[in-house]
């Protein structure tokens, strides 16, 4: 449970252990009831993924609950927060399959773990990769189904559950839309910054920040103007969060981010960073980007050449500016929002952390 | 709505148009609210898949409602039935991705439709296949999310919704377990008939027959002994249904089944049929099966050789016998079950149709 500290500020540091305990208890129950010992690799892969992660969505959900005036026992909110984290695990598992990523959060991705388990159990080497992919598709499906299952066991009263279901349904649909927009724009180098920002809005701003915050606030019975303030804070912050992610993907330290640097470039992701670079690039630089971006086997030297263009066109700096502008906008919302001061303080902290992070 | 006929027998022929109308209205609403015109291929692929199909699960759900004593307005049950059909569409989309199937119900599978749409929109030929797969993973996810969304808009009272949620959660988890068991046993030729039957139980008997029937019965407020009768009828019938499917996959007429003959053999599916053949095969025949089964490009002539072994070992006939035994067991349950006579009549009809079908 999250307790208010002596100064009255809600303490979000309790969210992580609280959510972890719920997830572990849930998976222990599922493992006991599972169809058989053959299911073990699914649990191993899911637990490994869940062991890490920033728990940003659960924190935002609990912060939203405080913003909506929640205080005292927050166990129902923590349950919902844990369901959001399971949903996020589903999204990551399928995302890694689609991107054919090897590593996530510094560890092998689920489809790699499942392929390895298949080999260990005597499976054929020639089939291991496709087995891993199929098994990870199923594990993602199971995790999505379980995020509902966990929610239904959150002991929410029926009225509250019915109140948040439409929000969850919208959130889940919007994430998939965002992922599809992302997929469509991949490998199509473009200088359309607005189009890239639209993907960010669906894929991250609404899904990662706005909905967890609003769902938490609704759980506390927040008024419409509090909900409006949540959205006004969340959308610019969510954009800033994704823009930071894009920068870290290209310029970050793999030891900190837990994933190889340059994956977005190798996959040809249509990030805002890349669109700005295309916009500011000379004809020769544009040609260079067209030749190199989207090549899965891009060598280190060529990766460096792309990074140089991202710097020299000023794209990197422009994205930094976009991040700080959006963070400032989000913080300014808090100054005039009708939120309890303590909750606003917590949101301020989250905004600083999410935009200045190194991982 | 399903109306009882003059003779008092519920008329399941109304289920298909009823469910179709709900699905169409739901997808129309979603299309209007969609993130943008880029989403069109997702709708096209899903509608194509939903246009066909036997609507077996919806029929069982409505039959279960009658079995539980339901009569009069069945619109809430039809909504739940439509949600089950959407869930099944999700399962098929991901199943076709995992099996790399080209055709389903006589039409191109979702990942093929999405790959074609990508090419039409100017996508690169070299990326079309992997794009189709990624887009179909997302479409499956969206369809799963939407099956919940549709359920939440079924205007069930809160108490009823909370009553059926655990059943749905269990059903959905069990399907994924069944799919995973199926995946694990694929490409491992074995004479373990019991293991093959276990996959059938999870993947089909419980998922396709038992849960839709029980969920319908619960919606009508069925007593525990009616629910027990539903399960006692459903499990053998569900096994028979899958065994028929396995036979049709090898010996059926593609013009009737809508999918190429021999796919299970080319994929190396561990069906009961194959396990029985391995059990009855001579050393030479076993060797032949080991050499040919599981080859994705198996030529017509070799497919015929495998079919010969399935006939000559008596496996085909044994499966026919298993089907009729199970159908008889299911029918015998109906003779002594505490069900309304009219509902029992409808279930009898379903049992005959599901086990004798050609498609």
Q: What are phi and psi of B156, to 5 degrees?
A: -75, 145
Query: pLDDT tens-digit profile of A208-241?
Result: 999 999 999 999 999 999 999 999 999 999 999 9
Res A9: pLDDT: 65
Chain A partners within 8 Å of B150 (Cβ): none
Of A2 and B301, the one with more pLDDT: B301
Residue A258 has pLDDT above 50, yes or no: yes
> What is the Cα–Cα distance from B342 to B233, expressed in whole angstroms?
16
The shortest C-alpha distance from A6 to chain B (Å) reads 39
Length of chain A: 359
The shortest C-alpha distance from A169 to chain B (Å) reads 6
Is residue A94 within 8 Å of A203, Cβ to Cβ?
no
Cross-chain Cβ contact A35/B142 below 8 Å = no
Cross-chain Cβ contact A179/B138 below 8 Å = yes
Interface residue of A26, A36, A38 to substitute, partner B, most B CBs within 10 Å: A38
Residue B4 has pLDDT above 50, yes or no: no
Question: Does any CB of chain B come closer than 8 Å to the CB of residue A174?
Answer: yes
Residue B281 has pLDDT above 60, yes or no: yes
> What is the Cα–Cα distance from B81 to B75, expressed in whole angstroms?
10
- Which residue in this structure is represented by tokens 């919902």? A80
- DSSP assignment string, A33-89: HSS-GGGHHHHHHHHHHHHSS--HHHHHHHHHHHHTT--S--HHHHHHHHHHHHHHH
Residue B248 has pLDDT above 90, yes or no: yes
Mean pLDDT for all residues in chain B: 94
Among all residues of chain A, which has the CA nearest to that of B119? Answer: A184
Query: pLDDT tens-digit profile of A320-336?
Result: 999 999 999 999 999 99
The shortest C-alpha distance from B268 to chain A (Å) reads 12
> What is the Cα–Cα distance from B351 to B84, expressed in whole angstroms?
19
Name the pLDDT band for A36 (thresholds 50, 70, 90): confident
Residue A35 has pLDDT above 80, yes or no: no
Res A159: pLDDT: 86
Question: Does any CB of chain B come closer than 8 Å to the CB of residue A40?
Answer: no
Residue B112 has pLDDT above 70, yes or no: yes
> What is the Cα–Cα distance from B130 to A264, expressed in whole angstroms?
17
CA diameter of chain A: 62
Query: pLDDT tens-digit profile of B210-236?
Result: 999 999 999 999 999 999 999 999 999
Among all residues of chain B, which has the CA nearest to that of A135? Answer: B180
Question: Does any CB of chain B come closer than 8 Å to the CB of residue A146?
Answer: yes
Question: Does any CB of chain A come closer than 8 Å to the CB of residue B43?
Answer: no
Residue A73 has pLDDT above 70, yes or no: yes
Chain A partners within 8 Å of B35 (Cβ): 174, 177-178, 181, 202
Cross-chain Cβ contact A183/B97 below 8 Å = no
Task: Read off the pLDDT of each residue in A164-178 and give the average, rounded to a whole number.
Answer: 96
Task: Read off the pLDDT of each residue in B342-357 and give the average, rounded to a whole number.
Answer: 94
Interface residue of A86, A90, A100, A184 to substitute, partner B, most B CBs within 10 Å: A184
Cross-chain Cβ contact B177/A98 below 8 Å = no
- Which residue in this structure is represented by tokens 């809600």? A10
Cross-chain Cβ contact B176/A137 below 8 Å = no
Name the pLDDT band for B358 (thresholds 50, 70, 90): confident
Residue A289 has pLDDT above 90, yes or no: yes
Task: List the one residue out of A330, A322, A321, A325 whose CA is nearest residue A350.
Answer: A330
The shortest C-alpha distance from B105 to chain A (Å) reads 22
> What is the Cα–Cα distance from B206 to B204, expressed in whole angstroms?
6
The C-alpha angle with vertex B303 and arms to B298 and B307, in degrees rounded to 5, equals 155
Task: List the one residue out of B158, B5, B153, B9 whose CA is nearest residue B78.
Answer: B153
Look at A312-316, B157-161, B194-198 and tell me which has the smallest mean pLDDT. B157-161
Secondary structure, 3-state, B123-173: CCHHHHHHHHHHHHHHHHHHHHHHHHHHHHCCCCCHHHHHHHHHHHHHHHH
This model of the complex carries an ipTM of: 0.95
Residue A2 has pLDDT above 50, yes or no: no
Among all residues of chain B, which has the CA nearest to that of A41? Answer: B180
Task: Read off the pLDDT of each residue in B85-102 and give the average, rounded to a whole number.
Answer: 96
Q: What are phi and psi of B107, to 5 degrees?
A: -130, 165
Q: Is A337 left (phi over 0), alpha (psi -120 to 50) or beta?
A: beta
Name the pLDDT band for B254 (thresholds 50, 70, 90): confident
Question: Does any CB of chain B come closer than 8 Å to the CB of residue A301?
Answer: no
Residue spans of beta strands (DSSP E) within chain B:
103-104, 107-108
Res B18: pLDDT: 96
> Other CB atoms closer than 10 Å to residue B33's CB: what's the count?
10
Q: How many CB pairs under 8 A join A and B?
A: 121
| CB nearest to B134's CB, from A42, A98, A142 | A98
Of B299 and A11, the one with more pLDDT: B299
Res A8: pLDDT: 53
The shortest C-alpha distance from A222 to chain B (Å) reads 22
Task: List the one residue out of B203, B41, B254 whose CA is nearest residue B136.
Answer: B41
Domains in chain A (CATH in brackets) are 12-356 (1.10.600.10)
> What is the Cα–Cα distance from A89 to A68, expressed in whole angstroms?
26
Is residue A117 within 8 Å of A37, Cβ to Cβ?
no
The shortest C-alpha distance from A344 to chain B (Å) reads 31
Is residue B51 within 8 Å of B204, Cβ to Cβ?
no
| CB nearest to A124's CB, from B140, B183, B187 | B187
Question: Does any CB of chain A come closer than 8 Å to the CB of residue B144?
Answer: yes
Residue B5 has pLDDT above 50, yes or no: no
Task: Read off the pLDDT of each residue in B312-330 and give the average, rounded to a whole number.
Answer: 98
Q: What is the DSSP letter of A190?
A: -
The shortest C-alpha distance from A126 to chain B (Å) reads 11
> What is the Cα–Cα distance from B255 to A313, expressed in whole angstroms?
59
> What is the Cα–Cα distance from A61 to A66, expressed in whole angstroms?
9
Query: pLDDT tens-digit profile of B16-41?
Result: 999 999 999 999 999 999 978 999 99
Cross-chain Cβ contact A144/B146 below 8 Å = no
Task: List the one residue out of B357, B285, B353, B342 whose CA is nearest residue B11.
Answer: B342
Query: pLDDT tens-digit profile of B141-176?
Result: 999 999 999 999 888 888 888 899 999 999 999 999
Report how far apart the first and last C-alpha atoms of chain B are (Å, whole number). Answer: 26
Chain B partners within 8 Å of A173 (Cβ): 30, 142, 145-146, 149
Res B6: pLDDT: 40
Is residue A91 within 8 Å of A244, Cβ to Cβ?
no
> What is the Cα–Cα distance from B162 to A276, expressed in whole angstroms?
50
Residue B188 has pLDDT above 90, yes or no: no
- Helix (H/G/I), strand (E/B), else coil: A295: coil
- Dig out the tokens for B88 from the structure: 């099944």
Name the pLDDT band for B255 (thresholds 50, 70, 90): confident
Res A304: pLDDT: 95
Res B24: pLDDT: 97
Query: pLDDT tens-digit profile of A92-148?
Result: 999 999 999 998 888 999 999 999 999 999 999 999 999 999 999 999 999 999 999
Question: Does any CB of chain B come closer than 8 Å to the CB of residue A306?
Answer: no
Give the C-alpha distances (Å, rounded to integers) separating B310 from B255, B280, B298, B320.
22, 9, 16, 12
Interface residue of B26, B38, B88, B139 to substitute, partner A, most A CBs within 10 Å: B38
């Amino acid at each position: 449970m999250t307790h208010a500290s002596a100064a009255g500020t809600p303490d979000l540091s309790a969210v992580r252990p609280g959510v972890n305990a719920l997830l572990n208890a849930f998976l222990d129950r599922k493992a006991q009831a599972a169809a058989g010992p053959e299911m073990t690799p699914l649990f191993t892969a899911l637990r490994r993924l869940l062991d890490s992660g920033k728990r940003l969505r659960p924190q935002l959900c609990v912060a939203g609950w405080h913003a909506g005036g929640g205080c005292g026992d927050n166990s129902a909110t923590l349950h919902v927060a844990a369901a959001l984290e399971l949903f996020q695990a589903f999204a990551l598992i399928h995302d890694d399959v689609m991107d054919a990523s090897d590593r996530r959060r510094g560890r092998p991705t689920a489809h790699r773990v499942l392929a390895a388990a298949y080999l260990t159990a005597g499976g054929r080497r020639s089939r291991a990769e496709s087995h891993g992919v199929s098994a990870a598709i199923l594990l993602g499906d199971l995790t999505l189904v379980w995020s509902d299952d966990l929610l239904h066991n959150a002991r929410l009263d029926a009225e509250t559950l019915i109140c948040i279901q439409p929000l969850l349904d919208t959130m889940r649909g919007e994430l998939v839309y965002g992922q599809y927009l992302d997929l469509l724009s991949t490998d199509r180098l473009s200088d359309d910054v607005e189009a890239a920002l639209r993907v960010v809005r669906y894929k991250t701003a609404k899904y990662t920040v706005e909905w967890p915050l609003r769902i938490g606030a609704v759980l506390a019975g927040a008024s419409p103007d509090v909900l409006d303030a949540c959205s006004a804070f969340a959308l610019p912050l969510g954009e800033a969060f994704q823009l930071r992610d894009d920068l870290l993907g290209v310029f970050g330290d793999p030891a900190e981010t837990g994933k190889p640097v340059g994956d977005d470039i190798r996959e040809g992701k249509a990030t805002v960073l890349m669109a700005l670079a295309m916009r500011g690039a000379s004809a020769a630089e544009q040609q260079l980007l067209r030749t190199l971006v989207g090549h899965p086997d891009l060598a280190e030297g060529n990766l460096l050449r792309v990074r140089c263009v991202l710097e020299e066109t000023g794209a990197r700096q422009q994205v930094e500016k976009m991040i700080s502008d959006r963070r400032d906008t989000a913080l300014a919302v808090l100054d005039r929002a009708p939120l309890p001061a303590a909750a606003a303080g917590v949101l301020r902290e989250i905004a600083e952390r999410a935009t200045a992070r190194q991982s």
